[in-house]
Amino acid sequence: MTRRLVIITEIISPYRIPLFNELAQRRDVDLHVIFLAETDPGLRQWTVYKNEINFSYQVLRSWRKQIGRFHWLLNSGLGRALKSSRPDVIVCGGYNYLASWQALLWARIHSTPFFLWSESNAQDLRSGHALLELLKTEFLSQCMGYVVPGRSAAEYLRSRGIRQQRIFTAVNAVDNERFHADAESVRCDAARLRNDLGLPARYFLFTGRLVREKGVFELLAAYAKLEGHLREQVGLVFVGDGAAREALEEESRAITPGMIKFTGFIQREQLAAYYALADVFILPTYTDTWGLVVNEAMTCGLPILLSRAAGCAADLVTEDWNGHIVPSRSVTALASVMGTFASQPDLCARMGANSRKRILDYSPQQWCEGIVRMMASVGDGRG
């Protein structure tokens, strides 16, 4: 039986398009996606790949406003969009938008099963305000079920009293085939591309926003603690942009010897080159609901060095097999593992191959299977 599924999510993210395209191909799902906005120009520099969209969708009218530390996104037309799409099941990505509450109310009035797509975990630093926590508890209590990307998000929901039977895992994924193919192509012409991009012969890689909460200053400090002969052999490359870039560049000038490069923001088409030519991927974040850049790096065959705060750590990294997990904010722990990787290139290659094996289970196809299991629960009484 084919069911009409409506997914409500914030923006047209390049990470999500492959997932929605895959789901739209299934005969048992009639997919429609409602985006609250096309993009978030204040935070994202992504290209919006509308030409790759092969699913039914619409973008609501929206207005953004920042008041203090809170970002507000207001929409019009959600009720009309839901009425015209006639969903059998609704999946809503998040509870921190007014549109999320509007969708929840619409679902209750129309007796439509409503699921929350939740990536929050116990390490998430964005919560904590008493009123917001109260509102979150109320929202969670009204949902029929929950879709999570992995263990940390599931544990968080259980800690808030949600029964395991109502939690469904749809693994977070990227376009594995695209990134793997691009990385292999890069390695076939590695010397020329390394020279063209001005990259060191060996390097640690960070990809993401250059903001303090990503642990970028600890990463730079850990690199500075490496023995001089290791810094002469292995560089550090920051791919991305953000408020901390100028301060990072200033601090990096004092690190000698060393090879430190800041590339600025890089669009998806060029990212695989930086992954493919790197030795190790590092994400020393203070808070991250998941960290899809880790999926990308593993698809390109890199070992992973993560902080425990990364939501994906429990699912994607096995200690001493495809990487290492360290406490967030610990310069000493970061430097120790970086020193091990820098002095053992064979270890990097072996762990990178294991990363590639692990990420095969985190594909758009596996994400779809999780969504289909969630939809099937509506008919089997598990809600």
133 pLDDT band, cuts 50/70/90, is confident
- The separation between CA 289 and the C-alpha centre of its own chain, rounded to angstroms, equals 7
User: Residue 31: phi, psi to the nearest 5?
Assistant: -95, 135
Domain locations in the chain as residue ranges = 3-173+363-380, 176-359
Q: In what order do the strands lie in the sheet with 29-35?
A: 56-59, 29-35, 3-9, 89-93, 114-117, 145-148, 167-169
User: Residue 12: phi, psi to the nearest 5?
Assistant: -80, 85
Average pLDDT of the segment spanning 21-25: 98
Model confidence over 49-90: pLDDT tens digits? Answer: 999 999 999 999 999 887 666 678 999 999 999 999 999 999
CATH class in words for 176-359:
alpha beta
Question: Is it the case that residue 316 has pLDDT exceeding 60?
Answer: yes
DSSP characters for 318-350? -BTTTEEEE-TT-HHHHHHHHHHHHH-HHHHHH
Model confidence over 42-51: pLDDT tens digits? Answer: 777 788 899 9
**Alpha-carbon torsion (284, 149, 35, 91), positive or negative:** negative
Residue 18, preceding bond cis, omega within 30 degrees? no
Question: Is it the case that residue 382 has pLDDT exceeding 60?
Answer: no
- What is the model's pLDDT at position 124? 72
Same fold, 3-173+363-380 and 176-359: yes
Distance, in Å, from the CA atom of 22 to the CA atom of 12, rounded to the nearest integer, reads: 15
- Residue ranges of alpha helices (H) inside 123-267 are 130-142, 151-159, 176-187, 190-197, 216-225, 228-233, 245-252
- What is the model's pLDDT at position 383? 43
- What is the model's pLDDT at position 68? 65
Distance, in Å, from the CA atom of 146 to the CA atom of 373, rounded to the nearest integer, reads: 12
Q: Are 309 and 328 in contact (CB under 8 A)?
A: yes
Question: How buried is residue 336: exposed, middle or buried, by Cβ count under 10 Å (0-12/13-18/19+)?
Answer: middle
Question: How buried is residue 316: exposed, middle or buried, by Cβ count under 10 Å (0-12/13-18/19+)?
Answer: buried
**Alpha-carbon torsion (340, 344, 345, 346), positive or negative:** negative
Q: Are 186 and 276 in contact (CB under 8 A)?
A: yes
Question: How buried is residue 93: exposed, middle or buried, by Cβ count under 10 Å (0-12/13-18/19+)?
Answer: buried
- The separation between CA 134 and the C-alpha centre of its own chain, rounded to angstroms, equals 26
What CATH number is given for 3-173+363-380 in this structure?
3.40.50.2000
For residue 83, count other CB atoms closer than 10 A to its CB: 11
Model confidence over 236-274: pLDDT tens digits? Answer: 999 999 999 999 999 999 999 999 999 999 998 899 999
Q: What share of the chain is helix, strand, coil (3-state, %, to 5)?
A: 45, 20, 35
For residue 380, count other CB atoms closer than 10 A to its CB: 7
Q: Kindly report the pTM of this predicted structure.
A: 0.94
